[in-house]
Every structure is written in C-alpha cells, then in structure tokens.
Amino acid sequence: MKPDWDKLMAKFADHASALVGDVDCTADGAKDLCETHGVQGFPTIKWGDPSALEDYEGGRDYADLETFANENLKPVCSPKNIDLCDADKKTKIESLMKMSTSELEAEIEKKDAELKEAETTFDEEVKKLQETYEGLEKAKTDKQKEIKESGLGLMKAVKAAKGASSEEL
C-alpha cells in the first residue's frame, strides 16, 4: 500500500484545500497525535476535518484511494465553511455554536459513550456468535464421527461390491 499512498501524496502535493500525508505513529512526537485521533493499528487512514477525523474504510489500492480523494478531499460543510452547508446543517451548527464549551464537551462525551457502547455491544454479540458457532461445529463433528463409526463406510463398501458383482453377471 505504501507505494500507492506515496503516489497519491505526490498527486495532491500542491492541492490548495486538501492534505494527503502520512505520520509514523511509532516515532517520538507522533504518538500523542495518533492517540488523540484514535489510531490503533497500522496502516490507518483518516480523512476529513482535522478536528473531527473519520476512519477511511475503502479499498487500499491506488485506484480506490484516488477515486475517494477526488470525490471527498475538498472543502466541506463545517463551522469554517458554513456557506457550503445546507439549511439543516447550518441550523445545527448555529445551535451548537450557541452552546457553552462545557455543554458541548458534555454532548461530545455522551456521543462518544454511545459509540463505545455500540462497539461493546457488537463485540459481546460477536463473542456469543463465536461461542455458538464453536458449539455447532463441535456438535456437527461429533455427529459426523458417530455416523461414520456406525458403519457408513462398510455400507458404502458393500454397495460398491454388490454393484461390481451384478455387473459381472
């Protein structure tokens, strides 16, 4: 992926309103930045407003990266670019701007907790599914073993022998 990413960085090097770059999260000085933006594995691609980066979930080859960049790396609706917002987003931004910093922090904390709860619920349910899968897999394997040990192989051998002897007649 690195060569494709380097090619994309070169293409956007002189772009007026978008930055395509990379950060070595293992280097001194970059660890805090990576932690702040929730980087947990490598490579991680983030995009969007620097104050609210989002995870990139698309393809990792150059064609996919370039298509995504061309479609998304441009000025977007935000408090700094309110003229790019539709009426609903403008109203939402205006109401958020009227909130105190502490109220805004409380709302952000609430929404972050909701995100974490959704992730936790997902992880717990996947664990249950994994346990169910493993139980079903064991039951299937045990049943297959029981069926085979009950004489299935001999039955097939006898049937084959009967077929061979009837063909000889």
Beta carbons of 85 and 77 less than 8 angstroms apart: yes
DSSP letter string, 18-64? -------TTSTTTHHHHHHTT--SSS--EES-TTS-EE--S--SHHH
Q: pTM here? A: 0.54
Domain with 65, as residue range(s), is: 1-75
Residue 127 has pLDDT above 90, yes or no: yes
Q: Are residues 67 and 6 both part of a single domain?
A: yes
Q: Are residues 4 and 69 both part of a single domain?
A: yes
Percent of residues, the chain, with pLDDT higher than 70: 96
Q: Are residues 105 and 169 both part of a single domain?
A: yes
Q: Give backbone dihedrals phi and psi of 168, rounded to 5 degrees, phi first.
A: -75, -25
Q: Are residues 36 and 106 both part of a single domain?
A: no
pLDDT for the residue 23: 82
Is 84 part of any domain?
A: no
Q: Are residues 112 and 54 both part of a single domain?
A: no
Is 25 part of any domain?
A: yes
Q: Cβ neighbours of residue 33 under 8 Å, at least 6 residues apart?
A: 23, 25
Q: Which residue carries 């061309």 as its tokens?
A: 70
CB atoms within 10 A of CB 65: 21
Number of domains forming the structure of the chain: 2
Distance (Å) of CA 55 to CA 14, 28, 47, 129 = 24, 23, 7, 26
pLDDT for the residue 25: 81
Is 16 part of any domain?
A: yes
